[in-house]
Chain A
Amino acid sequence: MSPVASGSADATASTSPASSLFRTCPSTGLSVHRSADALIKANAVVATVALLIGGIAAILVLLTRWQAVHLLDAVWFYRVLTIHGMNMLIFFILFFEMAVLYFASAVLLNCRVAAPRLGWVGFALMVVGAGMVEWMMISGRADVLFTSYVPLRADPPFYLGVILFAVGALVVVGIFFATLVVARRERTYEGSVPLVTFGALTAAIIAVITLVHGAAIYIPTYLWSLGLMDVDPQIYRLVWWGLGHSSQQINVAAMVSIWYLLGALSVGAVVVNEKISRTAFVLYIAFISMASAHHLLVDPGFGPTWKVVNTSYFMYMAVMASMLHGFTVPAGVEMGMRLRGFTQGIFGWLRRAPWGDPGFSALVLSVVVFGFVGGITGVTFGTEQINIIAHNTLRIPGHFHATVVSGTAMAFMGITYYVIPLIFRKRVAFYGLARWQPYVFSIGMLIFSMAMTFAGSFGVPRRHWDITFPDAPFELAYSPAVDLVIGVMAIGGLIGAVGGGMYILITVTSVFFGKPLGQDFSEAALEGSVPPGVYTRPFLELPTEDVELEEHGRLGQMPGTMILVSIFMAAFVVYYFVNWKLLSFVWKVG
């Protein structure tokens, strides 16, 4: 598999008028603004630091909830749980997404970053804000958990730190939009933006909506903490979740964009139909608020009509959007593989796929666990009545560890193995370990989140220091099955933590001590030190003329994908109706 069009890559560097500000990527031929390089690196490095802090906190939380160990005392348990939530869900994810925004705009569009200095200002605001929040949490002045529900009160700098962080993020999102305008005006690309950029654009738009909610709740809460105004606890929950779950919709849009990106880079996945994929992204924007209402289904502040309408907008189009991407991403991989000659049978393309490429394995694992575990449980628990048997139990963190960890974080890890050679221009350290990392991380987190969800169906509460209730006025002993399930959860979580540790070891070593890559991107020079997609460049092997693929009867041109999504649909229907059945067994309530 020799590179098809390697000649075009090196030639353009010297002809560019501002060549000192740009470099030419030897793998993709894109010219990369050096400011984009630097901003991507800075954001990615800070994201990894947050991942490390959040990961250490994760292990401490896990070893406390595992009653057999019960490591921390109550004060430190809730403190460390706060640290875990803020670092993982806010700092790690958002710094990483800032890097994604620079990549999807400046790099993919061959363009300069609009206002790079302002980019550094935004970055500095985010770092300062995050630092203030970290300091408040560690010093015990913000034991309010990730959600900081009023009237639980943290010291004012906690809220101020969150506000500064959000303003910084908003600045970076603004630079992303400006970069798109610059690229269009300077004609650095032709026609429409690539799908990955389009997906990142939807993520950025959702980020604006999210950050506006953030301002609308954290600014009043900051004033409240100073004693200057009142904040109603129910209104807080309403507006806060406009931030809290919408931010997960940023993650979904960013993750799906990265699915398309990983597919293109690792196996030459095509976009089966631009119209379908782009429409699905737009649906995320239009139905963004839905999932925010999922948190309020058993709240006293809202009536049944409000709940039914705002959970679904009558038609669950955000669910529809994810189901469309859940089809088009594997279908694009299948079609790309078939177009590149892997046409054998129904699943030949899957068997012959590069399972040792950590970018590809991360893509598959992210899609499968996000869909089968995270997606199905999320939609089911977000149903008005079923929420009665799910709210605030371990079923909820079970759900979102499958989406945001096994889905989003896994996809982010997968793309990192391409970012290290393509942006940092380093070899991937411990590459043999990197080939295994997605499997270890994903399988560990899969065991963890399934066990957690299962424990929650016994009613075990989330965010609870000791479910043996030693200090309570009455006795309560959960079924011995709960001990077993929590034990399984702990083992899965520890395996996941090993996978996370492998990722941090690999990325930190690569970035700070890794061997630089030269301009030689041949297989001989790179094999065994970067993912194969970097030098085989499978997207260059796609046929340049129209090719009609073989029809497999009723399964069409993408028969493997049709079978996979049918299995998914069956699992979804079964899980959904089993939960209605479980609900029908509990006390009558209305």
Chain B
Amino acid sequence: MHTTGVTSPLAGWWKPAHRSEKIWATVAFVWCMVLFAMMPFWHLKGGQNPSGTRARVEPEAFRARVTEFVEEYRVGEASGIPIVAPPPGSDIYLMGQMWLWYPVLRLQQDAEYTLHLSSVDVNHGFNLYPFNVNFQVVPGYDYALSITPTEAGDFRVVCNEFCGVGHHAMLGRIIVDPPGTQVGSAVPEAAVPGGES
């Protein structure tokens, strides 16, 4: 005799499952194991992991480091924001604040950098256009990610965490030069990215 979900089951309802249910439960279980295993596997073999090194940082201390970084490697200015060209392998900084990404970064293709992300006021969201790479930027925390730009171009950093009424105006820029470009050479005019890639 069968019961529905609205009636009390008959005594002794702890019965063996149907064969079809057993098959499905096995398939689902194996699949869940695959879902789990893919994450450690990608840490070993994959090139994209949100690990980084993470530390607490006072917003004002972070701002001071960014200022120092900008003074050291400044090569120009775009829309009133300094352009900074740090050497490959160095620590680079991107600061979120209402409603600006500071500074503009100028990087070399295929070089590795340690990108420090933090905010000096509220939460912001790092979204790299057009590659769709996303990280949460939280005030009080320094998220240091090693990044390797694998393609040259003129990229944008969209803020994708609501940060107040000017949120939509918060748009930053990362320029990636082809390998071998001299640091200090002319900065390309702000092209509209996305079209050529």
Tell me whether A and B are bound partners. Answer: yes
Q: Chain A residues in contact with chain B, CB under 8 A?
A: 28, 74-75, 78, 108, 143, 145, 149, 151-152, 189-196, 199, 232-234, 237, 257, 260-261, 263-265, 268-276, 296-304, 307-308, 311-312, 314-317, 319-320, 323-324, 327-328, 331-332, 335-336, 339, 379, 383-385, 387-393, 457-459, 461-467, 469, 471-479, 539, 542-546, 555-558, 561-562, 565, 569, 572-573, 576, 580, 583-590
Determine whether the beta carbon of B194 is less than 8 Å from that of A478: yes
A264 touches B6 (CB 8 A): yes
A324 CA to B26 CA in the complex, in Å?
A: 10
Cβ-closest chain B residue relative to A556: B20
Q: Tell me if B148 and A588 are in contact (CB < 8 A).
A: yes
Residue contact B171 to A469, C-beta cutoff 8 Å: yes
Which residues of B sit under 8 angstroms from A332, Cβ to Cβ?
A: 4-5
Chain B, Cβ-Cβ closest to A551:
B19
| The one of A28, A75, A587 that contacts B148, using a Cβ cutoff of 8 Å | A587
Tell whether, in the assembled complex, residue B29 and residue A320 are in contact, meaning their CB atoms are under 8 Å apart: yes
With A319-B32, A328-B21 known as contacts, the answer to whether A588 contacts B150 (CB < 8 A) is yes
Evaluate contact between B132 and A457: CB separation under 8 angstroms: yes
Residues of B bordering A, CB below 8 Å:
1-11, 13-15, 17-21, 23-25, 27-29, 31-33, 35-36, 38-40, 42-43, 46-52, 54, 78-81, 100, 112, 117-118, 121-123, 125, 127-143, 145-151, 156, 158-173, 190, 192-195
**How far, in whole Å, are A328 and B5 apart by their CA atoms in the complex?**
11
Residues of B within 8 A of A199 (CB): 5
Main secondary structure of the interface of A (DSSP, over half): loop
CB of B6 within 8 A of CB of A312, answer no
Q: Establish whether residues A587 and B131, one from each chain, have CB atoms under 8 Å apart when the complex forms.
A: yes
Task: Assess A589 versus B134: contact at CB under 8 Å? Given A308-B40, A461-B158, A475-B192.
Answer: no
Residue of B nearest to A473 (CB): B79
Bound form: Cα–Cα A428–B160 in Å = 44
Q: A584 to B47, alpha carbons, bound, how many Å?
A: 7
B contact residues around A469 at 8 Å (CB): 168-169, 171
Q: Contact: A474 with B9, CB < 8 Å?
A: no
Known: A152-B122, A385-B50, A473-B81. A587 touches B150 (CB 8 A): yes
Question: With A151-B121, A472-B169, A542-B4 given, is the CB distance from A299 to B136 under 8 Å?
Answer: yes
B162–A300 CB distance below 8 A: no
Chain B neighbourhood of A145, CB < 8 A: 162
Interchain residue pairs A-B with the least CB separation, the first 4 = A260-B5, A300-B143, A461-B160, A264-B4
Residue of A at shortest CB range from B130?
Answer: A459
Tell me whether A542 and B2 are in contact (CB under 8 A): yes
Of the A-B pairs whose beta carbons lie under 8 Å apart in the complex, a sample of 8, sorted by A's number, is A189-B8, A315-B33, A385-B50, A473-B100, A477-B195, A555-B20, A562-B23, A589-B148
CB neighbours (8 Å) of A471 from chain B are 166, 168-169
CB neighbours (8 Å) of B2 from chain A are 270-271, 335-336, 339, 542-543
Supply 8 further A-B pairs (C-beta < 8 A) apart from A194-B6, A260-B6, A387-B134: A194-B5, A234-B138, A264-B4, A271-B3, A458-B130, A473-B79, A588-B150, A589-B47
